[in-house]
Chains A and B, each alone.
Chain A
Amino acid sequence: MSTTTVAHHEEHHDHPTGIMRWLTTTNHKDIGTMYLTFSLIMFLVGGSMILGIRAELFKPGLQLMNPDFFNQLIGIHALIMIFAALMPAATGFANWMIPLQIGAPDMALPRLNNWGFWLLPPAAILLTLPFTLALFGIGDGALATGWTFYPPLSIQGGIGVDFAIFSVHLLGISSVMGSINIIVTLFNMRAPGMTLMKMPMFAWGWLITAFLLVATIPVLAGAVTMLLTDRHFGTHFFDAAGGGDPIMFQHLFWFFGHPEVYILLLPVWGFIPQILQTFSRKPMYGYKAQVYSLWAIGALSVVVWAHHFFTAGMPVPALLYFMYSTMAISLPLAVLFFCWIKTMWRGSMSFETPMLFAVGWIILFGIGGLTGLVLADVAADAQYHNSYFVVAHFHYTLFAGGIMGIMAGVYYWLPKMTGHMYNEKLGKLHFWLTAISFNLTFIPQFFLGLAGMPRRIPDYALQFAEFNMISSIAAFVLGFSQLLFVYNVIKCIKGGQKATDKVWDGAVGLEWTLPSPPPYHSFTDQPVVK
């Protein structure tokens, strides 16, 4: 491979080693690796926080923490999982795989790329610092409002709220920079012959995600800035006494917050069909239908935000509009589900770990989707809203639909990234433990919600005791199963059976034409797509 030698040659010339390599790197693979590593670390941090919550909720009564600390944990857990675990994981994949998949040598804006990543660690520190200091008795802790920052509670809150606001600003800047980079790369650096409608599905998923981020993150930044000025500079955006309205914050927040759900899921909807086609050994079904559905979902996602607060009180026409538009999201989603299953149908399937995760993902994400459809109903929503039913619902979409999807991607691409096969047995064990304990954690929460347990309470009535106990035990199994994943990934990076260039015999796409691991500069000779 002449390209490989050339690449290695360059590497020795141009690039510092050690810590400076990572601080100054503009290489898409290095940056991708840093994103993924950061994401994994924050996933474990956010996960251990929620194990604290589940331990407290193991039985009625206050055992381990006071209610204020409890409120801090739930909010920080959500912010970390969404902004510091799921989003960076997707961006990490984008950095690694988009240039490989479209035949580009690197991302279009490498320096911006480096900056985008290095904003994340300070943001994570800002978010967790007040919390960590409070553990040592300094200050009054992190924001205790839940991740949604609803005023007036967030206006009452201590300095932790300000830290979280600045953290969100940094995370937002980082996301917007990553998105701009992806949009520019996809529009300008595709291999000759790769028209937009020949792009890999993952690239499509990310393109729409990037547009959503650019459109909605500034709204979030604006909303939290208004909160900041309400807190410190005497403005009254969200204070009725000064002519403002607390509910306006919810409109602004969810104008970002609802697309955010799809921001987390669209990249996954991109690579899951690729995994399905690889292990079904059969081209993906309905490429065009899938692309149009992704666009439809992206477009709908910015016009349905108010279904997150039906109970806040709205005029009837608004209730009806937001109910029906929310239900409409199920139409393109049904098309997607159909295409995914049709891709498997009459293929020649084998079930390596990525395929197990992908199939399990379809089933569990299906439950998340269907419960979401029910939640759109205004009358029923009065009961579900802010109960544990909602908690279970969004963990089916964000843990199963998001994190388990990301894990499918990790197992799928890890051999390509590292050049080594992971331990298949351990991978399968990880899947089964995760899938089973996940269901045992969250199915009881559906019933808790129906029985009337509100979310975000540190202690509960005796009638909820049994389900909470089951949920807590399963949550610990779920949490500790993830250590298998960490072990497997580290072991795979360090060594193992050599991976072939193609890795999977059914793999299709430009990334599989490069050696495993790919050379430092991916494509020195631009490939041509027919």
Chain B
Amino acid sequence: MQVLKKVGLGFGMLLISLSAYADYSWNFPEPVTPMALDTLHVHNKFMLISMAIFLSVLAIMIYSIFSHRKSKGYKPVADKAPSTAVEIFWTLIPFAILLLIDFVIMGIPAYHSVIMMEDTRDKANMVIKITGSQWRWQYEYMDGDAQGIKFVSNLTTTNDQMHNAADKDENYLLEVDNHLVLPVGQKVRVLMTSADVLHNWWVPQFGSSRVAVPGFIRETWVQVEKAGTYRGQCKELCGKGHGYMPIVVDAVPMEEYKTWVAAKKEELAKAAAGADKEWTKEELMAEGKAVYEKNCAVCHQVTGAGLPPAFPPLTGSKIANGPIFGADGKYLPDSHLDRVLNGIRVMPSWKAVLNDTEIAAVITYERNGLGNSVGDIVQPSQVKAARQ
């Protein structure tokens, strides 16, 4: 029984420390939005109440276990002929206590939290759209100066790090190439959708988590009060890359945000201009290799060998070695370009994810690298035309 007592006490201590630790290492990470702060308060209050209930009931049980033992010669007290009135009275006490806790002590703050959480539109300063896809997040700014900014955020942790062939850095599995940048103190309405399966955009320090449902728009909001870099992960099982699509958000002061917007717009303009110039095969191959390894190699592998039967090889593939354009100059159905632009079954559509140059480059690379040697190249301008 000593052990039972120790286990019980040990667990109680653990639970107490959960709320008492000021550095949050045993609790939710430091909240940086009003919603996360509210969530933390709700959680702490609930934990304290649960602990109080748990420990007092445990104390009663432990007292009984030690006193009312046969080995101590304790004689059982027969409950007197079951009197229904007394029984009802006694059993209504725990009922009443929980009634009070559920619908008053916790119920009322819970109501206000729900209202606050779901109020995505009032006083929203800006709107962004987040699209989950296997296995990366796409961000798009919907209004204001930043309107039109659109990019994809990919994991940067390397294969070697995952397979223990290289040292893991501090942000192992939690670093991406393009951070989402948000201004501090602004209420951001977040529209959420998905390109393929369910995903869930979750940054623990924001306290908001919402499922991205393909074909539907869901919404939530964030208002980051403190500048910093915040990390999260996808929280809905979305296939083999589920653990590999982190979220990184930079919350920056307004001035810095404006500078970032200007720089990003310039970068996008340059990329768009790139689509109109004539690219050499070498340029396309170099660019294509980078795009391929970042986006395609997860399934089709770095060598192009694929992971059959789910993910077919590209080396020697009929599509990657077949004709792209018909006699009329339009791309053929089920051609290489069609497949990359529109996807099929598990293969996602890359239309909205990659720009013209990237699509042209990656197709060129797949046809002339990975053990294929078709010889032709695709120009960004052809992709641009194909989109119309």
A contact residues vs B (CB 8 Å cutoff): 60-63, 66-68, 71, 140, 144-146, 150-153, 156, 158, 239-241, 245-247, 280-283, 285-289, 309, 311-313, 316, 319-320, 323-324, 327-328, 330-332, 334-335, 337-339, 341-342, 344-351, 359-360, 362-363, 366-367, 370-371, 373-374, 377-380, 382-383, 385-387, 432, 435-436, 439, 443, 447, 450-452, 454, 456-462
A387 surroundings in chain B (CB, below 8 A):
235
In the bound complex, CA of A362 to CA of B62 (Å): 12
In the bound complex, CA of A334 to CA of B94 (Å): 6
Question: Are A378 and B110 in contact (CB-based, < 8 A)?
Answer: yes
List the one stretch of B21-29, B326-334, B365-373 in contact with chain A.
B21-29
Question: Are B38 and A344 in contact (CB-based, < 8 A)?
Answer: no
A323 surroundings in chain B (CB, below 8 A):
110, 114
List the one stretch of B139-147, B169-177, B269-277, B280-288 in contact with chain A.
B169-177
Contact A66/B113 with A451-B29, A459-B162 known, Cβ cut-off 8 Å:
no
Known: A311-B209, A348-B76. 19 other contacts (CB 8 A): A71-B239, A71-B242, A146-B237, A156-B239, A156-B346, A282-B76, A282-B77, A289-B88, A316-B118, A320-B114, A330-B98, A349-B70, A363-B58, A373-B50, A379-B113, A380-B39, A439-B7, A452-B29, A461-B171
Residue picked from A63, A150, A319, A383, most chain B C-beta under 10 Å: A383
B318 surroundings in chain A (CB, below 8 A):
none
| Distance between B206 CB and nearest chain A CB, rounded to angstroms | 9
Question: Are A461 and B174 in contact (CB-based, < 8 A)?
Answer: yes
Contact A289/B68 with A63-B164, A67-B241 known, Cβ cut-off 8 Å:
no
Question: Are A346 and B64 in contact (CB-based, < 8 A)?
Answer: yes
Please pick, from B69, B78, B91, B161, the residue contacting A283 in the complex, using a CB distance under 8 A: B78
A379 surroundings in chain B (CB, below 8 A):
35, 38-39, 42, 110, 113-114, 116-117, 207
Question: Are B242 and A316 in contact (CB-based, < 8 A)?
Answer: no
A246 surroundings in chain B (CB, below 8 A):
198, 213-215
Which residues of B in the span 27-77 have a Cβ within 8 Å of any Cβ on A? 27-29, 35, 38-39, 42-43, 46-47, 50, 53-54, 57-58, 60-61, 64-65, 68-71, 74-77
Question: Are B68 and A363 in contact (CB-based, < 8 A)?
Answer: no
Please pick, from B60, B106, B111, B214, the residue contacting A341 in the complex, using a CB distance under 8 A: B60
Contact A324/B107 with A153-B237, A454-B202, A459-B162 known, Cβ cut-off 8 Å:
yes
In the complex, 26 of the A-B residue pairs with CB atoms within 8 angstroms, ordered by the A residue number, are A66-B240, A67-B243, A145-B237, A245-B215, A280-B76, A285-B87, A311-B210, A316-B115, A330-B98, A330-B101, A331-B99, A345-B60, A345-B68, A346-B68, A347-B68, A348-B74, A351-B65, A373-B50, A379-B117, A386-B235, A436-B7, A439-B7, A451-B25, A452-B233, A456-B242, A461-B171
Question: How big is chain B's contact interface, by range?
Answer: 35 or more
Contact A452/B162 with A60-B172, A363-B61 known, Cβ cut-off 8 Å:
no
Q: A239's closest neighbor in chain B, by CB?
A: B215
B197 surroundings in chain A (CB, below 8 A):
150-153, 156
Contact A71/B240 with A61-B164, A61-B168, A345-B68 known, Cβ cut-off 8 Å:
yes
B35 surroundings in chain A (CB, below 8 A):
379, 382
| Distance between A444 CB and nearest chain B CB, rounded to angstroms | 10
Contact A377/B164 with A282-B79, A383-B28 known, Cβ cut-off 8 Å:
no
Please pick, from A158, A285, A371, the residue contacting B309 in the complex, using a CB distance under 8 A: A158
A319 surroundings in chain B (CB, below 8 A):
114, 118
Please pick, from B42, B79, B95, the residue contacting A380 in the complex, using a CB distance under 8 A: B42
Question: Are A370 and B214 in contact (CB-based, < 8 A)?
Answer: no
Please pick, from B50, B58, B196, the residue contacting A371 in the complex, using a CB distance under 8 A: B50
**A-facing mask of B220-258, CB < 8 A → 1, else 0?**
000000000001111111111111100000000000000
Please pick, from B47, B53, B164, B234, the residue contacting A454 in the complex, using a CB distance under 8 A: B234
Question: Are A366 and B54 in contact (CB-based, < 8 A)?
Answer: yes
In the bound complex, CA of A378 to CA of B46 (Å): 13
B99 surroundings in chain A (CB, below 8 A):
331
Question: Are A377 and B110 in contact (CB-based, < 8 A)?
Answer: yes
- Flag whether B182 is at the interface (Cβ < 8 A): no
In the bound complex, CA of A334 to CA of B99 (Å): 10
B171 surroundings in chain A (CB, below 8 A):
461
Contact A335/B91 with A383-B204, A451-B29, A462-B172 known, Cβ cut-off 8 Å:
yes
In the bound complex, CA of A382 to CA of B1 (Å): 39
Q: B97's closest neighbor in chain A, by CB?
A: A334
| Distance between B232 CB and nearest chain A CB, rounded to angstroms | 7
Question: Are A345 and B102 in contact (CB-based, < 8 A)?
Answer: no
In the bound complex, CA of A368 to CA of B162 (Å): 34
Please pick, from B170, B236, B240, the residue contacting A68 in the complex, using a CB distance under 8 A: B240
Contact A67/B242 with A313-B210, A454-B234 known, Cβ cut-off 8 Å:
yes
Question: Are A362 and B61 in contact (CB-based, < 8 A)?
Answer: yes
A443 surroundings in chain B (CB, below 8 A):
11, 14
B106 surroundings in chain A (CB, below 8 A):
327, 377
A331 surroundings in chain B (CB, below 8 A):
95, 98-99, 102
Question: Are A460 and B173 in contact (CB-based, < 8 A)?
Answer: yes
Question: Are B215 and A240 in contact (CB-based, < 8 A)?
Answer: yes
In the bound complex, CA of A436 to CA of B4 (Å): 9
A386 surroundings in chain B (CB, below 8 A):
200, 202, 235-236
A348 surroundings in chain B (CB, below 8 A):
68-70, 74-76
Contact A380/B238 with A62-B163, A319-B114, A435-B7 known, Cβ cut-off 8 Å:
no
- Flag whether B345 is at the interface (Cβ < 8 A): yes
